[in-house]
């Protein structure tokens, strides 16, 4: 039993060491964004497709005066939303930051 544990530890550590480091992706929504979008202005804050790796974090800072929706995530005015992705997933949904009104978010392996 002890030999199995000793053999398993280096394998587990090597997998951790070889993993790419997690990144934090910040989306900063400036004040006045909703007004600019409503007036028909092309506001480019984020692309229509976001890609993350597991362990990456998404931070959305809403400095605007209205709630914004980015796929499954809603951020009230003046609030900051944070999410670390722990498993592979795919989201598609409404996005208040795009004139087309949609976004795709994918979380892949490494």
- On whether residue 40 sits in a domain, the answer given is yes
Q: Count how many domains the chain has.
A: 1
The whole domain housing 74 covers 20-108
Whole-angstrom Cα distance, residue 52 to residue 72? Answer: 15
pTM: 0.77
- The 10 Å Cβ neighbour count of residue 45 is 15
- On whether residue 83 sits in a domain, the answer given is yes
pLDDT recorded at residue 109: 72
- On whether residue 8 sits in a domain, the answer given is no
For the ranges 3-7, 24-28, 85-89, the lowest mean pLDDT is seen at 3-7
Percent of the chain residues topping a pLDDT of 70: 82
Q: Which long-range contacts (CB under 8 A, 24 or more apart) does 17-20 make?
A: 19/55, 19/110, 20/53, 20/110
């Amino acid at each position: 039993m002890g030999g199995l544990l000793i053999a398993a530890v280096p394998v587990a550590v090597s997998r951790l060491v070889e993993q790419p480091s997690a990144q934090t992706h910040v989306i900063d929504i400036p004040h006045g964004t909703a007004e600019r979008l409503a007036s028909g202005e092309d506001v480019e804050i984020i692309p229509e497709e976001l890609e993350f790796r597991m362990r990456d974090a998404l931070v959305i800072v809403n400095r605007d005066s209205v709630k914004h929706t980015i796929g499954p995530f809603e951020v009230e005015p003046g609030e900051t939303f944070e999410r670390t992705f722990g498993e592979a997933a795919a989201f598609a949904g409404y996005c208040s930051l795009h004139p087309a009104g949609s976004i795709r978010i994918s979380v892949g392996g490494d």
